[in-house]
A and B are shown apart, each in its own frame.
Chain A
Amino acid sequence: MNINLQGLCPEIIMLSAAALVLLVGLCPRDGVRRSSQWIAAISLVLAFIAAWNLGPIGDGRHWTLWPLATYDSLLASGIGLLTVLASWDMPFLDDPAQSDKAYRGEFFAMLLCSLAGLSMMAKVNDLIWLFLALELVSIPTYIMVAAGRGNAAAQEAGVKYFFLGALSAAIYLFGFSYLYGFAGSTRFTAIAAAFHSALAGGHLPYVALIGLLMVVIGISYKIAAVPLHYYAPDVYQGAATPVTAFLSFTPKAAGFFALIIVFNLTGWKLSGPGAPGHVLPDLLMVLAVLTMFIGNVLALLQRNIKRLLAYSSIANSGYMLVGLAVGPVRPAGSAINGLSATLFYLGAYSLMTVGAFAALIYLQGKTDAAEDLDDIAGVAGEHPLAAASMAVCLFSLIGMPGTVGFLGKLFIIQAALAANHPLLAVLVVINAAIAAAYYLRIVAAMYLRDAWTPFTVRRSLAPPFAAALATVLVIFFGIFPAQLFQQSSASGQVVPTAVISHKPAPVPLAAARPPAYPQ
C-alpha cells in the first residue's frame, strides 16, 4: 500500500488538529480550553484549502476516483466547518449542573476525527481501509451522541445508536469478508478485477452477491435508509441539537460515498438486460421508494422538530438512493447522471439541513434548546433573521424553485428520466408534494402563530452565523449552481476501478477530469 501521503493532506490536517484540541482540552484554564473550537474551525478552513488545491497526485492507481475524493474532502471540511460553528457552544457546556466544563476539547476532537473519516472515505482503496474509515466516522459520533448532553434522552439515543450501529457494522463486515473471499484480496483493484471478469463471464457468484448485499444494506445504516432506518428518529431527537446537526450530515455523507465506491467495484455493470446481477438496481429502487415514503409519511405525524427533521433525513436519503440506483447511466450529451445528481443533492441537502439545525440551535426554548413546534411558535416576530434562514432552508427542502433544493430534486428526477425510469421520477415528485405539508407546518408555526413566551437565544454568534452562511449558500447555489454542479458532476463521472486496474496510465484521470461547464 504505497500511499502518497500528500493526497491525504486534508485528513492529516484534521487529525493533527484533533490531537491538538485534545491536548488543549486538558488545560485547566478555561480560556485556553475555549480555543479548541477555534482550532477546529481554522483546521477545517485549512483542510478546505488543501482539498481545493490538491490535484491528482501519484501514479493514478491509488487515487482512482480523484474528483470524487476532492468533492468528498471539500464537503467534509466545508460543511464540517458549518457544523463546528453550529456547535460552538454545546448546550452542556453552559449547563450549570455541569461544573466541569472539561469536555470541550474532547468534543471537538471527536468531531474532527469523524470529519477526517468522512474526508478520506472516497480515497479509500482497500476493504480494510474502508472498514476503518467507516468506523472512524461512526465511533466518534457514538460518543458525541451519548455524551453530548447529560439527560436521559441523550443516553437513550446513545444506547440505541451504539448497539444498532454495532449490529450494522457486523452486517457489513460479514459482507466484507465475503467480498474478500470472492476476490482473494482486500485491494479494490483486485476486487474490481474479479467483478469485471465474473461479470464479463456472465455470472455473478453468490459469494460476491451475498457480500455486496450485506455491505450495501449494512452501510445503509449510515444513511438511515430502509430497512436500517429505525434508529434515526430516536437518535436525532435524543441527541443534543448540535450533535443532531452533525449526525444529519457526516454519517450520511460517509454512507453515500462508501456506497458509491462499493458500487464502483462492480463497475456499475449490474443493470441492463441479462446482466447477472440485474435485480440489484431494482432492489435499490424499491428500497429508495420505501425510504422516501416511510420518511415522509411518518414525518407528517411529528410535532418535535428534531424528530421531524430525522424523518425528513430518511426521506432525503430515499431521494439520493434514487440517483444511486439509477447509477452513472448517462444519455449522450447529458452531464447529469444518477451519481452526479446524488452527489449534488448530497451537497444541497447538507447545506439545507445544517442550516435549519443551526437556526434551531440559535433559538432556545423555555427550558432547553427549541425542539417542539410550540417552542418556535411566532419566532419570526422577534428573530426575523433566524426565522428567515430556517424558512429558506425548509423551502429548499420542500424544493421551492430558486433554492438549491429545487435543483437537487430536479437533477434526481432528471437522472431518473434519463435512465428511463419515469415512474421513479413521478414517485419523487409525489413525495416532494407530501413533504411540503410537514415542512410548511414549521414555517407556519414560525410565521403564522403567536409567541407563547419570550425567546431566549444563545449567546454565541457562531450558530446564527452558520445558519446565515448556509442560507446564503442555499440561495446562491440555487441561482448560480455552476460551481457545485461542476464539482458534483465531475465526481459523478466515475471511472470503474476495474478499468483503472487494467490501465494504470493517467488515462482514467483525464477521463475523470471535470467537463467544461456548458453555457
Chain B
Amino acid sequence: MYPSWTPHEAAIIFSALIPAFPLGAAIVLALLGAKWFKKSSHVPAIIGVSLSFFIALKLLLMFQFGQLAAPNATYIQSDLWTWIGAGGFKASVGIFLDPLSCLFAAFVTGISLLIFIYSSGYMEGDYGYFRFFAYMSLFVFFMTTLVLANNFLLVYLGWEGVGLASYLLIGYYYPRPAARDAATKAFITNRVGDTCFAIAVLMIYLTFHSLKFSHVFYGSLQSPAFRAAHRTVLFWIPLLLMFGAFAKSAQFPLHVWLPDAMEGPTPVSALIHAATMVTAGVYLIARCLPLFLHDLPVLHLVGLIGCFTAFMAATIAMCQYDMKRIWAYSTISQLGYMFLGLGVATGTGAVFHVFTHAFFKALLFLATGSVMHAMGGELDIRKMSGLRKKMPITAICILMGCLALSGFPGWSGFFSKDDILSAAMNSTWRFGPWLAVVGLLTALITAYYTFRVFFRVFTGELILPATAGQHESSPFFPPGDLPGGEHAVNHGRPAAGDAAKDRHAPAKKPRSLDGAPAMWLPLIVLAIGATFAGYLGVFGSHAPGGWIGGFLGRVPLNGTIRYVPTPPAGLPQPVGGHVNPILIMIIGAALAVLGVLIAAYFHRINRQAAAKVAVVLRPLVHFLENKWYIDELYHYTLVRPLRFSGYILSLMDRFIVDGLVFVIGFIPQLAGFTIKPTESGRLRYYGIGMVAGVAVVLLGVLYLLR
C-alpha cells in the first residue's frame, strides 16, 4: 500500500495531512470563495475535513491493531521541518502521535465533519457563506495542529489560532453589537489564559531547555534530583498551564466568555462546545499530566475548581430560559467534570468524558439549532411546547442527547461520568470523595435541568412562538432595509442581494419542521453516537475502562510513567479507596432517574394537571391545594434553595467575575489615564520632560555608582 514507506513514515506523513486539508480548504475558500464557490462553498470545506477524518480514523485503527510501532515505542514523533532554529533553541513543526492525540484528532475531525454537513443546510443562503466555511476550516486546522503538535510552541500556535478563529466566528454576525462584544470578550478572556500559557512555555524552555513533549515529559523530569532542584518552577509551570487551560476551557473564574459565545451561528457553538475550542484545555492538561503528577497541590486545585465549576454552572443552568444558554452552562458544568477527573488523576476518565460529551453536546446544539431554525430564531423555552409533533426527528435525537447528558443509565454520559466519579470517590486524595459527592449532586441537577428543557419544549400540548416557520431575520439585512435599496450598508455588495432574496423567499412548505436532510442526517448520526459511544468505555477490552481505557492506557510511555490510569508507584493512584464502582454506578443511575422524574413532575405531569385543575375540576381546589402544598414543599426545600444558590452564583458570575475581567482590562486603561497628562501637547512640557528625564537618569547613575 505504501510502496517505499514503512507504516511509521506513512503515519507521520498522513498525520501531517490532517491539519493540511482543512487549511487548504480555508485558503481555497478565502481566495476563490467569493467568486467561484459562492453557494457551494461547503463543498471544499466538507471534502477537506472528511479527508482529515478518514486519515485520523485510519491512524486510529493502525494504532489499535498495533501496525504502527514496536511494542516499546509508544508514541511516534517526528520533526517535519525546522521552523525556528537558532543554536540551542529550536522550534520545529512536528507531529506527536500517541493514542491521546490520535483519539482527539479522530473525534475532532469526525464531529467537525458532521457539523460541517449540518451547516451546509443551516447556513444555506446566508450572507458570507464562503467566509463562514473558510473560518470553520481554519478553526479545524488550528485545533488539529494543537492536538498533533510535538512541542509546546506549536501547541501555542494552535492555541492562539483557535482563539483567533473563534473570535472571527463568534463575531460572525458582526452587525449585532452583542456579537461583537461577545467576540471581543472571548478574545480578551482567552488572552489572559494565553499570557499564562506563554509564560509557562517560557518557563518550560528555561527549565528543560527544550519544548518537545518527548524531552519535557520523559526526560529529566523523571529524575528525582532534577525535580528537587526545580521545585518552585515545577510548581509554577503547572499552575500557569492550568490557568491557560481554564481560559480556553471556560472554567471558573475565566468561564465568562463561553455563555456569550453563543452569539455566533449555532454550528459555531456546536463546534466550540463539542469538538474544538473548549476541549483544548482538557487536552493540554491531559497531555501535561506528567508535569501535574509531580505537583499534587496544583492537580488538586484543578480538581477542586473543576468540581466547583461543575456545580456552579449546573445550578445556573437551572434558572435560565434560553435553550442555547442552558446548553452553554451545561458545557461549563461538564467541562468541570472533566477537570474534576483530571484532578483525581484519571486522565482516561476525563478524555472518555470529552469523547462522549463531544457527541451529545454537538447533538444538543445542532438539534437546538434546528429548533431555532424552525421557530424563527426563538429560543425561550417558555414560549414553546410540544414540538415533538412538529419535529419528530429532532425530538427523538434531542431525547437521546438529553439522556446522554443527564447520565441516564445506558446512555453514553452515564458511563463516562461514572468513570470520573468512581475515580474521585476512590481517590487517594482525602477530599476526593467529597468532590465525588458534589459531583453526584451535580448529576442530579444536571438530569433535572436537562429534562426541564426536554419536557418543556418537546412534550405537552403544541405551542409555537409567533415567529415559528419564519426565517430568522438576517443581521446583515435588517427588516425593512432589504437589499436593492440604496442604503449605505449595502453599497458595493452586489452578491448580497441574491443571498438575501433566497433567504427570504417563501420556502416549500415542509411536512415537518425538521429541516433539510443535511440538517437531520447528522443529528441521527450524532444521536447514535451519543447513545452508544459510552459502551466503548465498558466493552472492547479487558482493561478497566473498556476500549478507551485500554487504548489510552495500553501504552506505557518510556517505560517509567504510564500514561494514566496507572501512574507509577509513589504518585497518586486514581484508585485507592474501597468503594465499589458498581455502587457508585447504581447511585449515579438512581440520581439521574430521580432528576428526570422531578423534571417530569414539574414540567410535564404537573403542568398538565394544573391545566386540568384550572379548567375542569374547579370544586376540587381544596384537594388540589394540598398537592400544591407538596409542590410548594418541594419547591421550597429542594428547588428554591438550589435555584437561589444558582441565582446567587449567577449574580456572582455577572458582577464579581465580569468585574475581575473588567479590572484586568481596566488597570492598564487607568494607568493610561494617569499618565495621559504627560502628553500635554505643549512643546515646552515635552522639553521639560525630556530634560528632567536626562537629569534623573544622570542623577540616578551618580547615586548608584557612588
**Which of A's residues lie within 8 Å of B, judged by CB?**
159-160, 163-164, 167-168, 171, 209-210, 213-214, 217, 221, 226-228, 230-231, 233-234, 277, 279-280, 283, 287, 293-294, 296-301, 331-336, 381-382, 395, 400-402, 407, 410-411, 413-414, 417, 422, 425-426, 429-430, 432-434, 436-437, 440, 444, 447-454, 479, 481, 485, 489, 515, 517-519
Q: Which residues of A contact B694 (CB under 8 A)?
A: 171, 214, 217, 227
- Asked if B493 contacts A210 (CB within 8 A), the reply is no
Q: Which residue of chain A has its CB nearest to the CB of B678?
A: A230
Interface string of B240-274 (1 = CB under 8 A from A): 00000000000000000000000000000000000
Cβ distance A334 to chain B, nearest Cβ, rounded Å: 4
- Is B675 in the interface zone, CB < 8 Å from A? yes
A209 engages B701 (CB within 8 Å): yes
The range of chain B's interface size is 35 or more
Q: Which residues of A contact B671 (CB under 8 A)?
A: 293, 297
28 A-B pairs with C-beta separation under 8 A: A164-B683, A164-B686, A209-B701, A217-B693, A230-B685, A230-B689, A230-B690, A297-B671, A298-B676, A301-B673, A336-B87, A401-B153, A401-B156, A401-B160, A402-B157, A410-B84, A414-B86, A433-B195, A437-B188, A440-B184, A444-B180, A449-B174, A449-B180, A450-B489, A451-B489, A479-B83, A481-B84, A518-B87
Binary contact readout B187-211 vs A (1 if CB under 8 angstroms, 0 otherwise): 1100110110011001101100000
B510 at the interface (CB under 8 A from A): no
Asked if residues A279 and B701 are in contact (CB atoms below 8 Å), the reply is: yes
Cβ–Cβ contact B88 & A227, under 8 A: no
Name which residue of chain B comes closest to A276, CB basis.
Answer: B705
* CB pair A517 B85 closer than 8 Å: yes
Chain B residues 459-491 with CB under 8 Å of chain A are 488-489, 491
- Please report the C-alpha to C-alpha distance between residue A297 and residue B673 in the assembled complex, in whole angstroms: 9
A277 to B202: give the CA distance in the assembly, Å: 30
Q: Do B693 and A227 touch (CB < 8 A)?
A: yes
Instruction: Give Cα A476–Cα B104 distance, bound, in whole angstroms.
Output: 30
- Measured between beta carbons, the chain B residues less than 8 angstroms from A401 are 153, 156-157, 160-161
Distance of A240 Cα from B601 Cα, bound (Å): 72
Within 8 Å of chain A (Cβ to Cβ): is B570?
no
CA–CA, A168 and B686, complex, Å? 12
* Given A226-B693, A298-B672, A298-B675, A429-B199 contact (CB < 8 Å): yes
Check B697–A283 contact: CB distance below 8 A. Answer: yes
Contacting residue for B90 out of A283, A411, A451, A518, CB 8 A: A518
Evaluate whether A301 and B676 lie within 8 angstroms (CB atoms) in the complex, with A213-B698, A422-B206 already known. yes
CB of B40 closer than 8 Å to a CB of A: no
**Which residue of chain A has its CB nearest to the CB of B685?**
A230
Tell me how far the C-beta of B676 lies from the nearest C-beta in chain A, rounded to whole angstroms: 6
Residues from chain A with a CB closer than 8 A to the CB of B187 are 436, 440
B517 proximal to A (CB < 8 A)? no
Q: Is B559 an interface residue (CB 8 A)?
A: no
- A429 with B195: in contact, given A444-B184, A481-B84, A519-B82 (CB under 8 Å)? yes
Which residues of A lie under 8 Å from residue B188 when comparing CB positions? 436-437
Chain B contacts for A517, CB-based, 8 A: 85
Residues of B within 8 A of A335 (CB): 86-87, 89
Alpha-carbon separation in the docked complex, A167 to B489 (Å)? 50
In the complex, the answer to whether A334 meets B174 with C-beta atoms within 8 Å is no
A301 nearest CB across to chain B (Å): 5
In the complex, which residues of chain A have a beta carbon less than 8 angstroms from the beta carbon of B157? 401-402
Once the chains are docked, how many angstroms separate the CA of A325 from the CA of B9? 45
Residues of chain B within 8 A of A447, CB atoms compared: 168, 171, 174
CB distance from B65 to the nearest CB of A (A): 35
Provide the B559-591 mask, 1 if CB < 8 A to any CB of A, else 0: 000000000000000000000000000000000
Residues of B that sit less than 8 Å from A by CB: 82-90, 153, 156-157, 160-161, 164, 168, 171, 174-175, 179-180, 183-184, 187-188, 191-192, 194-195, 198-199, 202-203, 205-206, 488-489, 491-493, 665, 668-669, 671-673, 675-676, 678-679, 681, 683, 685-687, 689-694, 696-698, 700-701, 704-705
- Tell me if A451 and B686 are in contact (CB < 8 A): no
CA–CA, A297 to B668, complex, Å? Answer: 6
Residue in contact with A414 in the complex, picked from B83, B89, B675, B685, CB distance below 8 Å: B89
Q: What residue of chain B has the Cβ atom nearest to residue A381's Cβ? A: B493
- Supposing A230-B678, A231-B686, A481-B84 touch, asked if A301 and B156 sit within 8 A by C-beta, the answer is no
- Residue of A336, A414, A426 with most chain B CB atoms under a 10 A cut-off: A414
* 7 additional A-B residue pairs with CB within 8 Å, beyond A283-B697, A417-B205, A454-B488: A163-B683, A230-B678, A230-B686, A230-B689, A401-B156, A437-B191, A481-B83
C-alpha gap A293/B88 in the complex (Å):
30
The total of interchain contacts (Cβ-Cβ below 8 angstroms) comes to 183
Q: Name which of B85, B668, B669 has the most chain A CB atoms within 10 A of its CB.
A: B668
CA distance A163 to B83 in the complex (A): 46
Bound CA–CA A426/B197 (angstroms): 11
Contact A382 B693 (CB under 8 A): no
- A297 contacts B675, CB within 8 Å? yes
5 interchain residue pairs of minimum CB distance: A227-B693, A401-B157, A230-B686, A335-B87, A448-B174
Within the complex, which residue of A163, A430, A450, A489 is in contact with B175, where a contact is CB–CB below 8 Å? A450
Shortest Cβ gap from B476 to chain A (Å): 9
- List chain A residues, Cβ under 8 A from B689: 227, 230
Note all chain A residues with C-beta closer than 8 A to B164. Answer: 395, 400
CA distance A168 to B156 in the complex (A): 42
Q: Which residue in chain B gives the minimum CB-CB distance to A450?
A: B489
Choice from A301, A332, A407, A426 contacting B672 with Cβ under 8 Å: A301
In the complex, what distance in Å separates the CA atom of A519 from the CA atom of B84?
A: 9
CA–CA, A433 to B84, complex, Å?
A: 22
Known interface pairs A298-B672, A447-B171, A451-B491; A400-B693 also in contact (CB < 8 Å): no
Measured between beta carbons, the chain A residues less than 8 angstroms from B90 are: 518
Report how far A210 CA is from B698 CA in the complex, Å: 8
User: Do A279 and B705 form a contact, CB below 8 Å, given A301-B673, A451-B488?
Assistant: yes
Inter-subunit contact B174/A160 (CB<8 Å):
no
Contacts of A279 in B (CB 8 A): 700-701, 704-705
Residue among B175, B180, B198, B701 making CB contact with A213, cutoff 8 Å: B701
Contact A382 to B85, CB < 8 A, known contacts A417-B206, A425-B202: no
Determine the distance from Cα of A449 to Cα of B698 in the docked complex, in whole angstroms: 49
Nearest B residue to A440 via CB reads B187
A519 and B693: CB pair below 8 A?
Answer: no
User: Within the assembled complex, what's the spacing in Å between the Cα atoms of A171 and B694?
Assistant: 9
A417 to B89, CA, bound (A): 11
* Contact, CB under 8 Å: A213 / B697: yes
Q: B668 to chain A: which residues have CB within 8 Å?
A: 296-297, 300, 434, 437
Chain A contacts for B89, CB-based, 8 A: 334-336, 414
Bound form: Cα–Cα A40–B156 in Å: 42
Check B701 against A283 for contact (C-beta < 8 Å). yes
Report the minimum CB–CB distance from B194 to chain A (whole Å).
7
A171 contact set on B, CB distance < 8 A:
690, 694
Find chain A residues with CB under 8 A from B198 CB. 429
Residue numbers in B under 8 Å from A519 (CB-CB): 82, 85
Q: Out of A209, A333, A515, which one reaches B705, CB within 8 Å?
A: A209
CA distance A261 to B83 in the complex (A): 30
| B87 & A334 in contact (Cβ 8 Å cutoff) | yes
How far is A517 from B87 in the complex, measured between Cα atoms in Å? Answer: 8
Given the complex, which residues of B lie within 8 Å of A433, measured CB to CB?
Answer: 191-192, 194-195
Q: Which residues of A contact B168 (CB under 8 A)?
A: 447
Q: Are B669 and A301 in contact (CB under 8 A)?
A: yes
- Establish whether residues A331 and B88, one from each chain, have CB atoms under 8 Å apart when the complex forms: yes
Establish whether residues A167 and B698, one from each chain, have CB atoms under 8 Å apart when the complex forms. no
A475 to B280, CA, bound (A): 25
- Look across to chain A and name the residue whose beta carbon is closest to the beta carbon of B496: A381
Of chain B, the residue at the smallest CB distance from A280 is B701
Is there contact, CB below 8 Å, between A167 and B700? no
Q: Please measure, in the bound complex, the distance between the C-alpha atom of A333 and the C-alpha atom of B488, giving whole angstroms.
A: 60
For B698, the closest partner residue in chain A by CB is A213
Bound-state Cα–Cα, A426 to B694, Å: 27
A309 to chain B, nearest CB (A): 15
Contact between B679 and A400, CB atoms less than 8 A apart? no
Q: Which residues of B contact A410 (CB under 8 A)?
A: 84, 153
